[in-house]
Amino acid sequence: MKKNNPRSRSMLFIVLLVVLLPLLTNKAYLYKAIAYNFANIDDYTIFDNETVAAGTPLPWQSSPEFGKIKMPDDFEQYLTKLKTVGVVVIKDRKLLFEKYWPGYSDSSVTGSFSIAKSITSLLVGAAIRDGKIGSVNDPVSKYLPEFAAGEKAKVNIVNLLTMSSGSDWNESYANPLSVTTELYYGSDVYKTATSANIIKVPGTYHYYKSGDTQLLGLIVEKATGKSLAEYAAEKLWKPLGAEHPALWSEDKPGGHEKAYCCFNTNARDFARIGQLMLDSGKINGVPVIDSAYFKASVMPCMIKDDIGKACNYYGYQWWLIPDEPEIFYARGILGQYIICIPSKNMVIVRLGEKRDEKVGVTPREVLRLIEWGKTL
């Protein structure tokens, strides 16, 4: 009779541990995290989604120069290396340039990851203008009872907008046990987001945290009595004349949208969000957000960050270019961007699967997109 191989027994133990650990630790989301390993631009296909309804479509008018502009070869090669899937440029409210890589078109749906943070900020501003939220100085506890006591009671909406809640949120994407991974793959974003603890004085420390944005989304839901997708359709998608419905991924059927990520649509319709911001938060002259909220959205919060410097690159969930303060943009982890260049009356959308290293706090490809855009 053959003796049991100790190595085989060890391997069996490891396999059993991997299989049972998620159940034993009450982290069933780990099965999904292990299966899919890392986020992808088509992750909307693995999640439940709520539709952001479109109304009457208003297609972009083409610029007289549309179809005549050729992207420089070296720049196109650079973007191809970064697995770009689409680039759209809107100038003077008209479609100036458009390019898609194999497998993608003007109607292809892709994920945008943290671009959703900027969209959620717009919805907070809309709810304030609608009188559903009192102001950015409202305590979070006014809308979420989990923040009614202790240090949590000191957190205001503006602290969430500027990523300065002071929470202990672990913004780790590689660690399957991190709370961010649980937020992404789990089935209860409400519990996950409201379970954060406050360990620093709110408003004194800027640190990027998806949990802060998820709380903003929950506040909008509570204040308006509508899902984020419903409110986004009402305040943004229909008035903007989006050509296609969007998809906003949620934690479970009929659950909560992932406010910090997972707004899925095409490049042309993403550009409408940029145009709205170029128009100072207005659609056809009608304000969606108040002028003060718009200005604060694209002004640096100047709260000390993790290296002790005043944050001159982030407003209300919108990114800024320290050396070019007029420019602001939304960005996602895999290199999704809505870049607004007011002096050129221009919006640049880039969608893709990879991003380059940063130059300071700004991804290199953002700077190159801006440089190229200024030549058009």
**All structural domains of the chain:** 41-373 (3.40.710.10)
Candidate from 83-87, 157-161, 170-174, 332-336 with smallest mean pLDDT: 170-174
The torsion angles phi and psi of 359, rounded to 5 degrees, stand at: -105, 100
For residues 262 and 53, give the distance between their C-alpha atoms in angstroms, rounded to a whole number. Answer: 16
Pair type for strands 48-52 and 246-250: antiparallel
- Cβ neighbors of 103 (< 8 A, separation 6 or more) are 85
How confident is the model at residue 176, as a pLDDT?
A: 76
**Alpha-carbon dihedral angle through residues 102, 104, 105, 106, given to the nearest 10 degrees:** -140
Q: What is the pLDDT of residue 15?
A: 45
Q: What is the DSSP string of 173-226?
A: SS-TTSHHHHHHH-S-HHHHHHT--B-S-TTS-----HHHHHHHHHHHHHHHSS
Query: Which of 16-20, 32-36, 345-349, 358-362 shows the lowest per-residue confidence on average (mean pLDDT)?
Result: 16-20
Q: How far apart are CA 16 and CA 256, in angstroms?
A: 33
Residue bearing tokens 């631009």: 41
pLDDT reading at 14 higher than 90:
no
Query: What is the number of residues in the chain?
Result: 376
Q: What is the pLDDT of residue 11?
A: 45
At 154 the three-state DSSP class reads helix
pLDDT of residue 178: 84
For 186-210, b/e burial (b = at least 16 CB within 10 A) is bbbbbebbbebebeeebbebbbebb
Q: What's the pLDDT score for residue 17?
A: 46
For 73-129, strand residue ranges (E) read: 84-91, 94-100, 110-111
pLDDT at 38: 77
The answer to whether the CB of 175 falls within 8 A of the CB of 181 is yes
**Edge-to-edge strand list for the sheet holding 110-111:** 48-52, 246-250, 263-265, 110-111
Secondary structure letter of residue 4 according to DSSP:
P
| 344-369 average pLDDT score | 97
DSSP string, 33-56: HHHH-S--TTGGGTSEEEEE---S
Q: What is the CA radius of gyration of the chain?
A: 21
More confident residue, 30 or 143: 143
What is the arithmetic mean of pLDDT over 259-282?
98
